[in-house]
Every structure is written in structure tokens, then in C-alpha cells.
Amino acid sequence: MWFLLLGLLGVALKYLEIGFVANLSWWIVLIPFALAIAWWSWADSSGYTKRKVVEKEDRRRQDRIDRQRSNLGMLNSRSRRK
């Protein structure tokens, strides 16, 4: 995501001819887009994206369980382990 934002900023600065970016080659300005494609390809092929989604879902599920136990006046599983 950061590469994409950096690329959009670079293209805007190059197009509007602002700062030192105006003097750079278009190839250099477009490098962040290639890096974004490489990152997304690696993240998808390595399972990184899916793993992060599963971790987020697990956190949300555990938070919901803890909240429900707290509302029922039960000790949550984390406080019993201590």
C-alpha cells in the first residue's frame, strides 16, 4: 500500500513539475508501482495475506468471546491462566 501511495505522489509531483521530482526520469518515478506489484505477488503467493486475515478474524472472535464472558460475569480464559 505504501508503494502505491508513494507512486501516486511521485506521478503527481512529476506531472505538476514540482520539486526535484520534475527532473527525474519517468522510469524512476514509476518504480514504486513495480515494487507494489512485486510485494502483492509475493504476499499472495507466500500466504502472508491469508495469514494476516486469519489472525485478524481470530482476534475479533476472541475479543467477542471475552466481551460476552465479561457481560455474563464469568472470568475470561486469559485471567484464569494467570
The string of DSSP letters for 22-58 reads GGS-HHHHTHHHHHHHHHHHHHHHHTHHHHHHHHHHH
Q: Determine the structural domain holding residue 79 and report its residue range.
A: 47-82
Residue type, 64: R
Do 10 and 42 lie in a common domain? yes
Regarding whether 75 and 61 lie in a shared domain, the answer is: yes
Same domain, 76 and 37: no
**How do residues 7-30 score in pLDDT, each as one tens digit?**
999 999 999 999 999 999 999 999
- Which residues have CB under 8 Å from 31's CB, separation 6+? 7
Please tell me the predicted confidence (pLDDT) of residue 81.
53
Whether residues 52 and 76 share a domain: the answer is yes
Do both 1 and 30 map to the same domain? Answer: yes
Which ranges of the chain have pLDDT less than 70?
75-82
Residues in Cβ contact with 76 at an 8 Å cutoff, skipping those fewer than 6 apart: 65, 66, 69, 70
Same domain, 2 and 26: yes
